[in-house]
Amino acid sequence: MTENFIKNTRKIIGAGVNYKEILKIAHSNKPESPVIFFKPISTLIAAQDDNNVIKIPKVFSTINHEVELGVIIGKKCHNVSMDKAMDYVAGYCLALDMTGMGFIIDARTKGLPWCLGKGFDTATPVSRFLTKEEVDDPTNVKLWLKVNDVLTQSDSTANLIFPIPELISYVSKYMTLEENDLILTGTPAGAGPVKHGDIIECGLSDIIDMKFNVVKE
């Protein structure tokens, strides 16, 4: 059941560098295709759980916050066209893509894999399942995030470089997407580090919000 996607998902697929403002800040050109990475399902934690704590691994001094719209696949698809892609969406969630950015930057400069910077325990906090009726216009919904009550991220999915249908179509050319798979659509500009004792609060417009304490492992 897609409503229980947290327990039933088999893949978490992330899209990197997918907001226009990030390109402006970096003075970069649009990527030729979506930048895709994977996160293990062991990174998932649910906002509705009693112990909603994000843990910084001992190997990292800080981790970065990245608020995102999550897309939950409702049925199996492969090589789907962009005009049919939304037919395979069951619903949505609010998500955080927590990132060991220092590790990733170091690995990139050395030409090494950086998956460990995305794959630590508690690195993917998510809200409950949101129906299509609750998120009636995923192409233009606001994402926001505060750290200790200070707003650090605020943007709309209208500013995605590669919108949801294009992400689904692109990924499905390489692999079959299955029911409960989670696609993280990218984070707006403003992502930054959090440390032990910080409180992250984020939201999807006024539809849903969630709050997490950050602690050192």
For 197, the token pair is 């004792």
pLDDT in tens, 134-191: 999 999 999 999 999 999 999 999 999 999 999 999 999 999 999 999 999 999 999 9
Closest CA to 87 of 76, 103, 97: 76
pLDDT over 70 (residue 1): no
User: What is the share, in percent, of the chain residues with pLDDT greater than 90?
Assistant: 90
- Cα 217 to the center of its chain, rounded Å: 22
**Global pTM value:** 0.96
On average, the pLDDT of the chain sits at 95
Across 27-36, 121-130, 189-198, least confident range: 27-36
Domains of the chain: 4-216 (3.90.850.10)
Closest CA to 137 of 69, 211, 73: 69
What is the pLDDT at residue 3? 75
Closest CA to 13 of 142, 174, 207: 174
Mean pLDDT of 115-121: 96
Which residue bears the tokens 């910080």?
198
| Residue 30: DSSP 8-state | P
What is the pLDDT at residue 103? 93
Q: How far apart are CA 20 and CA 28, in angstroms?
A: 10
Mean pLDDT of 43-55: 88
Mean pLDDT of 54-66: 96
